A and B are shown apart, each in its own frame.
Chain A
Amino acid sequence: EDQVTQSPEALRLQEGESSSLNCSYTVSGLRGLFWYRQDPGKGPEFLFTLYSAGEEKEKERLKATLTKKESFLHITAPKPEDSATYLCAVQASNAGKSTFGEGTTLTVKP
């Protein structure tokens, strides 16, 4: 059974204080790993897709990386508007569905 574990559950940062969120996964053949951002009262919003170990994607202050066992979402010099819950999901090569982690809730204080 595919499993996704995200850590930490919650992260509080000061504005400008860089950090990383972790997504550890177990899957029978990875087709893709997805990162989403979810704001309160909204549905998850797609950020990145990573397909193979060593791949990296960047968008503004966010950079996602992938190894064979985990993915990191690095946040550089965060701003209060980066506060949200970040979800990681994996899709196995033999599946049409994704398995989601429980998420990391990030709070960035000004």
Chain B
Amino acid sequence: DAGVIQSPRHEVTEMGQEVTLRCKPISGHDYLFWYRQTMMRGLELLIYFNNNVPIDDSGMPEDRFSAKMPNASFSTLKIQPSEPRDSAVYFCASSLTFNQPQHFGDGTRLSIL
């Protein structure tokens, strides 16, 4: 059974560029979560979806960040324009229902120069 798949694994880009991170959740999972992890702030929830609908985006730091889930098998997190302080590891996770454990992808390590 394939786990959560994220791409790319690494992204290095210059400040001001648009960055798009991609996630394929586990088939049949109703919930999808986007997190950001840094040494300073740990694992922070950015946004989560239930059945493709955004439920809570209170963790999205600024309007530069946006997330979509056009169907049950695909989600994107976009940063436009990117800034050096956006450098972090971004994780996508999915869960079967709201009270089940989350299954994480291996993350995208993002570096903004």
Question: Which residues of A are interface residues toward B (Cβ below 8 A)?
Answer: 31-32, 34, 36, 41-46, 49, 87, 91, 96-103
Question: Which residues of chain B are near A102, meaning CB under 8 Å?
Answer: 42
- Decide if B4 touches A43 in the complex (CB within 8 Å): yes
Any A CB within 8 A of the CB of B76: no
- Decide if B48 touches A96 in the complex (CB within 8 Å): yes
- Decide if B45 touches A31 in the complex (CB within 8 Å): no
- Decide if A45 touches B42 in the complex (CB within 8 Å): no
- Decide if A43 touches B93 in the complex (CB within 8 Å): yes
- Decide if A91 touches B106 in the complex (CB within 8 Å): no
Point out which of B31, B48, B101 has the most chain A C-beta atoms below 10 A from its C-beta: B101
Question: Which residues of chain B are near A100, meaning CB under 8 Å?
Answer: 42-43, 45
> What's the Cα separation between A46 and B102 when bound, in Å?
7
- Decide if A41 touches B106 in the complex (CB within 8 Å): yes
Q: Besides the contacts A96-B56, A102-B42, what 11 more A-B pairs have beta carbons closer than 8 Å?
A: A34-B102, A41-B106, A43-B107, A44-B43, A44-B93, A91-B98, A96-B55, A96-B98, A97-B33, A97-B45, A100-B42
19 of the cross-chain contacts (CB-CB < 8 Å) are A31-B99, A34-B101, A34-B102, A42-B106, A43-B105, A43-B107, A44-B91, A44-B104, A45-B104, A46-B102, A87-B43, A91-B98, A91-B99, A96-B55, A97-B56, A100-B42, A102-B42, A103-B42, A103-B43
Question: Which residues of chain B are near A91, meaning CB under 8 Å?
Answer: 98-99
Any A CB within 8 A of the CB of B7: no
Name the CB-closest residue of A to B42. Answer: A102
Any A CB within 8 A of the CB of B103: yes
> What's the Cα separation between A45 and B4 when bound, in Å?
11
Any A CB within 8 A of the CB of B50: yes
Question: Which residues of chain A are near B31, meaning CB under 8 Å?
Answer: 96
- Decide if A46 touches B106 in the complex (CB within 8 Å): no
Question: Which residues of chain B are near A49, meaning CB under 8 Å?
Answer: 101
- Minimal beta-carbon separation of A9 from chain B (angstroms): 11
- Decide if B101 touches A43 in the complex (CB within 8 Å): no
